[in-house]
C-alpha cells in the first residue's frame, strides 16, 4: 500500500508541490502524491527545489501577506487608518482600526492559518529532502537551510502577533501525540528558543547573498538569518546578542536615495536583506492583491484604498522636516508619481501607501511589488538600540546617524541614554513606516498605550499586547488550548 502524505485540514496545513521550473517562484500546485511517486518523480535537483519553492510561494497568498496582514500589522497602529470609503468595513478593517476587534475577527484567522500553512510546507520539505538522494547533497543542505529560515520567519510573525502558539515542528501524522502538538500552545520563550535553533541551523547551511544570481536572487541567505536572529534577540531584550548578530550581517549598504528602495528597480538591491518576491504580470507569480488593496481609490485611482497613512504619520515626518522619507512613504494627492502616473484630486483618500505602490500595476491583482521585511538600515537601528541599552550611548549615535544622514536630517542632538532611546524609537518609525513593524515596536517598547491615546484609540494594557487566538482554533482544540487574556 502506498503511504499517503497526510494533511491537517484543521490548521489548513495542506501540502502543495510545484511544477518544476528554473524560477523558484513558479508555484503552480499539483495534487498530493504518494511517497513512492515522490521518490520516483522528485528525486532530482529540480524536485528538491520544488519543495522549498512551495514555501516561498505561500508568502504570495492572500491570507499570509495581503489584506488580513495589512489589517493586523498596520491598520491597528498609529501609522495607518482603515482608509477606503467610510461605509466599507473591509471585512473587519474598521474594528481593527478602532481596536475593538475580537477572536472572531477574520483577519486573525487568516494570518494564523497562512503561517501554519507555510510552516507545514517547511516541515514537509525538511522531512522529504533527506530522502532525495539523487539530488546534489550541497543543494539539499542549502534548501534545508532555506526551509528552516522560512519556518523561523513564520514563527516570528506568529509569536509577535499571538504570544503563545502551537509548536508544529514536524509533519502531522494523525496520532494522539500529534493532535496534542497542533493544539497545545507553547510559551513565547519556547517559541523564541525554537526560532533561534532554526536560524542557527540556517546560518550554518546558507550562503551569503552574493552567492545567488539570476532566478535565485531573493532566496534566504546567511545575512538574512543573522538579521532575523538579531531581531528575535531585540524582542527579548538580549542586547549583546543583538549586537553580535548585527555584526555578522556583512556585504550590505544603504541605498543613497531612499525612494529608490521602493521602486521595482530597487528590489533586492544592496540594502535588501530579505524581501517577499512578487513578480506580477501575465503568467507571473505576484503577491495576491497586495498593491491593489492599498492603491488609490476612486476616479483616477487603481485600487481599493485601504491602509492609508495616518495624519499622525504625516505630522511625524513634517515635524522633523523629513520630506525625503515622507514622499517615498506617502502618496499625497494630487501629485505625479516618479513614473509619471497622475494621482488626481478626485481620488477618495488624501494619502496612500507609497511603499506598496507598483509602477507596473495595471489592474492585474497579482502585483510585482516586493514586501521589504529586512533592510540594512534596520540592522543599523537595532545595533544602535542595543548599544544604547547597554550604556554605549555615544557609539549608538554613530549607527543612528548613518540612517539619519541618508534621510538628509544630519546628526542626532541626543546625548543622554533616555534621549537617545527616544531618538532611536522615532527613527524606527520614520524609517520603517508602513513596513509592518510599527504596532509590534510600540508593544515591545511600552509605548503602545500612549501612542494609541494620542491617535484617538484605546490600548487595553494586559490585553492588546497580543492579538486574540482565532476562535475557530479554540473551538477545534476542544479544551486543549485557552484564549488570550481579555478576549
Mean pLDDT of the region 353-377: 84
Instruction: Give CA–CA dist 15/32, Å, rounded.
Output: 7
Give the per-residue pLDDT at 360.
Answer: 67
CA–CA dist 66, 441 (Å, integer): 20
Rounded Cα–Cα distance for residues 1 and 454 (Å): 64
pLDDT (tens digit, 9 = 90+) per residue, 182-232? 999 999 999 999 999 999 999 999 999 999 999 899 999 999 999 999 999
8-state DSSP, 122: H
- Inform me whether the pLDDT recorded for 4 exceeds 70: no
Q: How far is CA 138 from CA 166, 206, 233, 269, in A?
A: 32, 10, 29, 26
User: Is the pLDDT reported for residue 262 higher than 70?
Assistant: yes
pLDDT at 362 > cutoff 70 = no
Quote the pLDDT of residue 188.
98
Give, as one character, the DSSP assignment of residue 304: -
How confident is residue 412, by pLDDT bands cut at 50, 70 and 90?
Answer: very high
Question: Cα dihedral sign for 366, 369, 370, 373?
Answer: negative
The Cα 409–Cα 123 span in angstroms is 46
Rounded Cα gap, residues 417 and 262, in angstroms = 33
Q: Identify the residue whose cell numbers are 547573498.
A: 209
Average pLDDT over residues 88-114: 97
- Sign, CA dihedral 225-221-244-267, equals negative
Identify any residues that bridge with 367 across adjacent strands, giving them in sequence order. Answer: 287
Rounded CA gap, 123 and 11, in Å?
14
The mean per-residue pLDDT over the stretch 325-345 comes to 96
CB atoms inside a 10 Å sphere around CB 248? 15
pLDDT at 377 over 50: yes
Is the pLDDT at 167 greater than 50? The verdict is: yes
Q: How many Cβ atoms are within 10 Å of 245's Cβ, its own excluded?
A: 26
3-state secondary structure of 243: helix
- Domains of the chain in start order, with CATH, are 1-186+457-487 (1.25.40.390), 287-369 (no CATH)
Give the burial string for 29-62 (b: 16+ CB within 10 Å, else e).
Answer: eeeebeeeebbeebeeeebbbbbbbbbbbbbbbb
pLDDT digits (tens, 9 = 90+) for 459-468: 999 999 999 9
* Segments in 129-171 forming alpha helices (H): 137-162
Please give the mean pLDDT across all residues of the chain: 91
Quote the pTM value.
Answer: 0.93
- Among positive and negative, which fits the CA dihedral 31, 32, 37, 40? positive
Grid cell of 354 as nine digits: 507609497
Give the dihedral sign, CA 76/81/83/86.
positive
Amino acid at each position: 500500500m502506498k503511504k499517503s502524505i497526510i494533511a491537517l485540514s484543521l490548521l489548513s496545513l495542506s501540502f502543495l508541490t510545484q511544477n518544476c521550473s528554473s524560477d523558484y517562484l513558479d508555484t503552480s500546485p499539483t495534487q498530493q502524491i504518494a511517497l513512492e511517486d515522490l521518490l520516483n518523480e522528485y528525486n532530482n535537483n529540480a524536485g528538491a527545489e520544488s519543495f522549498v519553492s512551495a514555501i516561498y510561494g505561500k508568502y504570495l497568498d492572500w491570507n499570509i501577506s495581503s489584506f488580513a496582514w495589512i489589517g493586523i500589522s498596520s491598520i491597528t497602529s498609529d501609522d495607518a487608518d482603515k482608509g477606503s470609503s467610510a461605509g466599507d468595513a473591509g471585512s473587519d478593517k474598521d474594528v481593527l482600526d478602532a481596536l475593538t476587534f475580537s477572536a472572531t475577527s477574520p483577519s486573525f484567522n487568516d494570518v494564523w492559518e497562512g503561517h501554519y500553512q507555510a510552516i507545514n510546507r517547511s516541515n514537509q520539505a525538511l522531512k522529504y529532502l533527506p530522502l532525495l538522494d539523487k539530488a546534489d547533497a550541497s543543494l539539499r543542505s542549502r534548501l534545508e537551510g532555506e526551509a528552516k529560515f522560512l519556518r523561523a520567519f513564520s514563527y516570528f510573525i506568529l509569536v509577535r502577533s499571538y504570544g503563545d502558539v502551537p509548536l508544529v515542528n514536524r509533519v502531522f501524522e494523525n496520532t494522539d501525540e500529534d493532535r496534542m502538538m497542533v493544539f497545545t500552545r507553547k510559551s513565547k520563550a519556547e517559541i523564541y528558543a525554537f526560532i533561534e535553533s532554526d536560524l542557527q541551523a540556517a546560518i550554518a547551511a546558507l550562503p551569503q547573498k552574493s552567492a545567488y544570481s539570476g532566478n535565485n536572487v531573493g532566496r534566504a541567505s546567511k545575512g538574512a538569518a543573522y538579521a532575523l536572529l538579531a531581531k528575535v534577540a531585540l524582542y527579548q531584550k538580549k542586547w549583546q546578542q543583538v549586537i553580535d548578530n548585527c555584526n555578522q550581517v556583512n556585504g550590505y549598504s544603504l541605498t543613497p536615495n531612499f525612494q529608490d528602495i521602493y521602486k521595482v528597480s530597487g528590489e533586492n538591491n544592496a540594502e535588501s536583506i530579505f524581501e517577499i518576491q512578487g513578480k506580477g504580470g501575465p503568467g507571473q507569480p505576484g503577491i495576491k492583491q497586495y498593491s491593489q488593496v492599498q492603491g488609490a481609490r476612486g476616479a483616477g485611482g487603481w485600487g481599493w484604498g485601504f491602509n492609508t497613512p495616518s495624519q499622525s504619520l504625516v505630522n511625524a515626518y513634517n515635524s522633523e522636516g523629513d520630506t525625503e522619507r515622507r514622499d517615498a512613504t506617502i502618496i499625497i494627492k494630487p501629485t505625479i508619481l516618479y513614473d509619471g502616473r497622475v494621482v488626481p484630486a478626485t481620488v477618495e483618500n488624501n494619502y496612500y501607501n507609497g511603499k506598496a505602490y507598483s509602477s507596473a500595476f495595471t489592474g492585474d491583482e497579482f502585483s510585482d511589488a516586493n514586501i521589504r521585511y529586512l533592510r540594512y538600515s534596520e540592522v543599523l537601528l537595532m545595533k544602535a538600540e542595543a548599544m544604547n541599552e547597554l550604556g554605549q550611548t555615544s557609539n549608538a549615535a554613530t549607527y543612528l546617524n548613518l540612517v539619519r544622514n541618508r534621510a538628509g536630517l544630519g546628526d542626532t542632538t541626543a546625548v543622554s541614554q533616555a534621549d537617545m532611546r527616544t531618538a532611536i524609537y522615532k527613527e524606527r518609525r520614520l524609517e520603517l513606516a508602513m513596513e509592518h513593524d510599527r504596532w509590534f515596536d510600540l508593544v515591545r517598547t511600552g509605548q503602545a498605550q500612549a501612542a494609541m491615546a494620542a491617535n484617538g484609540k484605546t490600548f487595553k494594557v494586559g490585553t492588546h499586547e497580543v492579538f486574540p487566538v482565532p476562535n475557530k482554533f479554540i473551538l477545534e482544540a476542544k479544551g486543549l488550548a485557552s484564549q488570550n487574556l481579555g478576549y
